Chains A and B, each alone.
Chain A
C-alpha cells in the first residue's frame, strides 16, 4: 500500500499528492527511524562522557559571535552546542530539566540516557519490540529507585555544624575547574545558602543570593559578603568612601523636577516666566534633598539618574548618593537593609529607611573600577558572592560551579537523605536490578539486564576519565560490593586508596540520583516510542 510521504498511485498508475509540499518532505519510519535516533542521542552522550567526574575534562565552546565559554557543566555544554537534530534537542532538554530541578548531575543524566539507548539498540536487533524494551526499562528504573531508598543515609543538616554540608559541596565542586580553592568555595556556597535558607519551609530562594564577578585578583580572593555588592560607585568623587552606621533611603523616583505623564506643553512667554520656572526647578531639587535629609537618611540609593546639578547639590548637602542602581539590586538592598522602596519623596519617613553598618567603596588594583559594598545589615537574608579570577572565562565557570554547589546544599536542606557518590549507587543499583531480572518471566528480563549494564556506564566513564583501567576497576569494586555487602564502594577517582565513598565523604543527594534515573528512563522511553518522523527535507 502506498504511504503518505511517498507518491501514491491510483489504480490507473497516475500519481497524486496528498500532503502539502509533499515532494519537499522527508520521512523516516520503523526501525530505521529508531536507529537514527539512537545514533544521534549516543553522539551527544559521547561528547559529554569525558566531562564526568572529578577528573573530567572541560570543553571550549565558541559562540557564533566569537565568545568563548569553558565549562564542564553538562547543562551548559548542551545549551551551547546549539544542536539541530530533534532527538539531540530532547537530550539537551533532558539535561536542562535536571539543571532546573536539581542543579547538579546534568552530565550524568545524559550519559545514562545514552547508555540506555545504546543497549536498547542491541535488543532491537534481537527483535524485541521497542515498547517492550521501554516498559522493561521503566520497571527496572522503579526497582533501582526503590533500591536507592534502602541504601540511602540520613544526613543531618545542623546549622551549628556545617562540616558535613561543606563536604558534600566539595564533592560537587570536585569536578570543576575551581577545585584549586576547593574548600574555600565549598564554605562560601554553604554559608551563602544557610544565610538565606528558610529552614522551616525547607525552601531556599535563590533570588536572594547574588553572584557578582570581576576580572582580576585570584580565585582565592573570592569572598562572601553578607550584604549586597553593586557594580556602582558614589555619584560624586568627593563623597566619602566609607560610611558607618548609615541609614539608607531607597528611592525609585528620580531627583528631577516632577513631570506629568500626560502629554503637556508649557508656554514660556516671558523672561519672567522663564526665571520662575528655573526657580521652581531649583526649589524642587532642594525640597527633595531636604526631604531625604529630614527623614534622617545618610545615603540615597536611586534607581534613576540625576544630572550634575543635582549631584553637586547633594554633595553640598552632604548626602552621598548612588545612581542608576538596577531593579533587582534595589530589591536586594531593600531586603538586606530592612528598608522600604520608596516611590515618592512625599512618602519618605524615617521608618522606611534601611540600615547598614558599613557601606564602603572597593577599588581594584590599578583599574578605575569601583564597587560598592553594603555590609553589616539588619537582615542578613540577602548575600552576595563576589568572585575574583584571572579571566572572564574562569569567573563564569566559577559562577556555574558555585551554582551547582549551592543547589546541592539546597537539596540537602529540602530532603536530607543522601547516597554516596563516585558511581557507588549506580553499581549497587545495577546489582539489585540484575537480581530482580531473573525473577521476571517475560521479555522484559532482557531490558532489565540492559538497564543494569547501562547503569554501569557511569562508574565506567568515571574510571576511564580518571585514567584507571575501567573494566578492571569496575569488576573489582563490584566484587567487593557483593562480598562486603557495602553499597558505599565506588570508583576511587582521586586515588586516595580507599574505594569507600563514605570515608571519602563523596556525597550526593538521594533526590538527585533518583531524578537522574527517572528522567533518563523517561526520555529513553519517549525516543524508543517514535517510529515515524516527518520533517521538511532540508532538516533532519
Chain B
C-alpha cells in the first residue's frame, strides 16, 4: 500500500474543480440578489441592524455590501468591486454588483457543459473592450463653452444620480445645491472641502448650502455667552495651543525652597497663560479657534475684550476654515501676524434646530462650502448624506470627464445590441460567450422594470425593437411605464461611470472564473465555505 502523504496541515479545507467554480458563482449570485431590489428610482431600501443594535437604512449598494459582513471568499470580490466603484466614481455601486452577478449567471451553463473558463475569460475581456470602445464612440460631450448650458447638464447628471434615492422628490432642490457646491471648489475638486453637517429637525428643503464654513458650537466654558456673536471682517487666529492654566510639563516637579518662591511659581504660571492671551489680543484677532481646549480663564479673558473663541474645533473643520478664510494653523502665538491670520466678510452664530452653529461666510478664497442637512431622523439624514455624496461624486466626474451617456438602461441596451451584432461575425465558441455578455447587460433595464413593478419582458422587447431600429438612447421610462428617449428626457450619466462599472464587473467575473481551487487554512475565519472538498478532499489522496 502506498504511504499516506500529508501535504497540508490538519484541518485545512480545500476544494477544487468545476464544482468549486459553480459553487463560487452561486455565492456571487446570492450576493447580487440581495442588492438587486435597490436599483433604480423605484428601488427599495434595506434596513440593516448590526450587532450593537444600530440601524442603517440605505439604498447605496456599497453601503449595504459593507454592512453585510460577507465571509464567503468568492463573494467578497463583489463587495470589493462595489467598494472600488464607490471610491473611484461614487455612484453605480449597485449596478456593478448586479452586472457581475449576471455575467456569472450567463456563463454558468457553458461552464457546466465543459467550456474552459479561460476561453470564457478571453471572450469576456474582448466583449468589455468592445463595450468601452462603443461607449466612447457614442458618448456625447457636453460643451463647456456655454456657462448656463454646462451648468444645466451638470444638474441633469446630479438629478439622475439622486433619482433612485430617498431624496428624489427634492432632487430639483438638491441638484442646484450639489452643482453649486462642486463649482465652488478649486480645480482639483477635493471632496473633503465639502463639509456635510447634520442637524435633526426641519424639512429637507430647510437644508442650506453655506458658501464658507459652518460648524457646531463647541463645548464652552462660563463666559462664552458674553462674547459677541457676530463680526464683520474679523481677523481669525487659528491655533493648535491649549489655552488653559495647566502644568506646562506633565512630568516635571518643582521643589520650592521657601514661601516667597512659591508665589513666584504661581505668578509664572499665570504669566505664561496671560502672555499667550495678550499676544493673541494684540495681534488684533477677533476670533480665536483652537484644535485644543480653550479653558475658562481664556474664555473670560476673551469675552472681556470682545473677542470670540471656540476650543476643540474638529480638525477637518479647522482645515476647511483655513481653505475658506486663509491663514494657517499656528502652534505658537509668537508668530501671529496678519499674514498668518484668516479673515472673512461675516462671522455669526446662528441657531439651527436645537443646535447653535458658527458661520463664516463671504470668505475671500472660498474654495470650500458646507452643506447643513436637515431631516426628520438620523437615519434619514445619514441616507441623505450618502445620496448627496453620490451626486457630488457624479458631478465631479462629469466635470473632469465631460462625456455623458443616457441612463435608465439605454446605454446597456445599446451595448447589448452592438455586442450581439458583433458576435454574429465571430466564428467559434466566443460567439456564444459574447452573446451571453450581451444578454447579461440587459439585466439593468430588466431590473429597473422589475423593481417598479412593470412587465419587464414586454418593455425589454419594445426596447430591443427600438434599438434595432437605430434609436440608440431609448431606455425605460419609469414614470409612465413605457420606454422613452432618455437622452431627451435628461436621464444622463457620465460615461466614465459606465466604463468603470463594466470594467470592474467583468474583471470581477473573470477573477471568479479563473479560480478553480480554494485552500482555506484552519481557523482563518468562521463557518465553512466553498462547498465540501470535492474529489480529493483535505489535500490527501483517497
Q: Residues of A at under 8 Å CB distance from B?
A: 1-5, 8-12, 14, 16-22, 33, 84, 86, 89-90, 93-94, 96-102, 129-132, 135, 138, 203, 205, 207-208, 252, 258-267, 273, 276-277, 280, 303, 327-328, 330-332, 334-335, 340-344, 347, 352, 514-515, 518-519, 522-523, 525-526, 529-536, 539-540
6 contacts between A and B (CB under 8 A): A4-B33, A11-B22, A12-B19, A86-B47, A261-B247, A534-B68
CA distance A10 to B201 in the complex (A): 48
CA distance A89 to B378 in the complex (A): 10
Q: Which 7 A-B pairs have the closest CB atoms?
A: A101-B201, A535-B49, A531-B44, A93-B377, A100-B354, A10-B23, A518-B203
Given known A98-B201, A130-B44, contact A264–B300 (CB-CB < 8 A) = no
Given known A262-B265, A515-B203, contact A97–B48 (CB-CB < 8 A) = no
Q: Are A331 and B224 in contact, CB atoms less than 8 angstroms apart?
A: yes
Q: Produce 1/0 per residue, B511-527, CB < 8 A to A.
A: 00000000000000011
Return chain A residues, CB-CB under 8 Å to B530. 16
Measured CB to CB, the closest approach of chain B to A10, in angstroms, equals: 4
Mark the stretch among B24-32, B326-334, B458-466 that contacts chain A: B24-32
Q: Produce 1/0 per residue, B287-324, CB < 8 A to A.
A: 00000000011001101100000000000000000000
Q: Are A262 and B253 in contact, CB atoms less than 8 angstroms apart?
A: yes
Residue of A nearest to B48 (CB): A534
Q: Are A131 and B33 in contact, CB atoms less than 8 angstroms apart?
A: no
Residue of B nearest to A113 (CB): B376
Tally B residues with Cβ within 8 Å of A.
93
Return chain B residues, CB-CB under 8 Å to A303. 222
Q: Residues of B at under 8 Å CB distance from A?
A: 19, 22-23, 26-27, 29-31, 33-34, 37, 41-42, 44-51, 53, 55, 57, 59, 68-72, 75, 112, 166, 169, 200-205, 221-226, 245-249, 252-259, 262-263, 265-266, 268-270, 296-297, 300-301, 303-304, 350-351, 353-354, 375-380, 383, 452-453, 526-532, 534
Measured CB to CB, the closest approach of chain A to B480, in angstroms, equals: 8
Partner of A344, one of B41, B268, B270, B350: B270
Return chain A residues, CB-CB under 8 Å to B380. 90, 522-523, 526
Partner of B256, one of A266, A332, A334, A525: A266
CA distance A366 to B166 in the complex (A): 61
CA distance A352 to B301 in the complex (A): 12
A2, A94, A260, A265 pick with most chain B CB within 10 angstroms: A260
CA distance A1 to B36 in the complex (A): 12
Given known A352-B304, A523-B380, contact A532–B269 (CB-CB < 8 A) = no
Q: Are B30 and A2 in contact, CB atoms less than 8 angstroms apart?
A: yes
Return chain B residues, CB-CB under 8 Å to A8. 26-27, 30
Q: Are B51 and A261 in contact, CB atoms less than 8 angstroms apart?
A: no
Known: A252-B222, A522-B204, A529-B59. 19 other contacts (CB 8 A): A3-B34, A18-B31, A18-B71, A86-B47, A97-B353, A99-B201, A100-B201, A101-B354, A203-B350, A208-B225, A263-B253, A280-B262, A331-B222, A331-B223, A334-B222, A334-B225, A523-B376, A532-B45, A540-B49
Given known A11-B26, A93-B377, A344-B270, contact A4–B34 (CB-CB < 8 A) = yes
Return chain A residues, CB-CB under 8 Å to B350. 203
Q: Are B532 and A14 in contact, CB atoms less than 8 angstroms apart?
A: yes
Residue of A nearest to B201 (CB): A101
CA distance A261 to B249 in the complex (A): 10
Return chain A residues, CB-CB under 8 Å to B68. 4, 19, 534
Q: Are A10 and B255 in contact, CB atoms less than 8 angstroms apart?
A: no
Q: Are A1 and B529 in contact, CB atoms less than 8 angstroms apart?
A: no
Measured CB to CB, the closest approach of chain A to B78, in angstroms, equals: 10
Q: Are A534 and B379 in contact, CB atoms less than 8 angstroms apart?
A: no
CA distance A517 to B146 in the complex (A): 41
Measured CB to CB, the closest approach of chain A to B265, in angstroms, equals: 4
Return chain B residues, CB-CB under 8 Å to A90. 377, 379-380
Q: Are B353 and A101 in contact, CB atoms less than 8 angstroms apart?
A: yes
Q: Are A530 and B57 in contact, CB atoms less than 8 angstroms apart?
A: yes
Measured CB to CB, the closest approach of chain B to A342, in angstroms, equals: 7
